[in-house]
């Protein structure tokens, strides 16, 4: 008789699709939820277990307190607008740094908290053109000697 692991037994005994009764859909950690790969192996854990760890009420990290994703519901579309920096950083860690949102070919590996970079407007004043260019020209001359 082949050996049966505890995890394998639980999955086959109670659950369809290989998911336990405690399984949650964490795909909304990604900007594009279809890109989430919950079972992606990251050294000794998966994306799902990393989120579970960050969602603990206590015992997280060295301090043993609540994880940054405690009480954050990722089973539905998540809006990061009013989230703390710790929550945004945790979501970005899972989605982008650990590559948990890399499920599709040419996937848009972005977290639910990703925002496009702001555009910069460069303002050149008449002062810059008269005095700034003269200064840069002086620097160039001074450095060439």
Q: What is the pLDDT of residues 101-130, one digit of tens each?
A: 988 766 678 999 988 777 766 655 554 544
User: pLDDT tens-digit profile of 24-76?
Assistant: 889 999 999 999 998 888 888 889 989 988 998 888 888 888 999 999 998 89
CA angle 129/132/135 to nearest 5° reads: 135
- For the chain, give every domain's residue range: 6-116
Is residue 133 pLDDT above 60, yes or no? no
More confident residue, 145 or 36: 36
Answer whether 0.85 is exceeded by the pTM.
no
Confidence of residue 1 (pLDDT cuts 50, 70, 90): very low
Task: Please answer whether residues 47 and 97 qualify as being in contact, where contact means their C-beta atoms are separated by less than 8 angstroms.
Answer: no
Rounded to whole angstroms, the Cα distance separating 21 from 28 reads 19
The pLDDT value recorded for residue 68 is: 93
CA angle 30, 31, 37 (to 5 degrees): 30
Task: Return the SS3 of 72.
Answer: coil
């Amino acid at each position: 008789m082949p050996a049966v692991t505890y995890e394998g037994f639980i999955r086959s005994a109670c659950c369809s699709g290989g998911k336990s009764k405690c399984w949650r859909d964490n795909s909304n950690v990604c900007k594009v939820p279809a890109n989430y790969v919950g079972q992606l192996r990251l050294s000794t854990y998966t994306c799902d277990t990393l989120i579970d760890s960050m969602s603990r009420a206590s015992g997280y990290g060295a301090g043993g307190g609540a994880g940054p994703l405690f009480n954050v519901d990722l089973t539905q579309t998540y809006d990061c607008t009013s989230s703390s920096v710790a929550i945004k950083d945790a979501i970005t860690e899972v989605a982008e740094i650990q590559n948990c949102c890399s499920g599709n070919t040419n996937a848009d590996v972005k977290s639910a908290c990703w925002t496009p970079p702001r555009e910069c407007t460069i303002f050149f004043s008449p002062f810059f053109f008269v005095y700034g260019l003269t200064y840069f020209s002086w620097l160039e001359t001074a450095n060439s000697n």
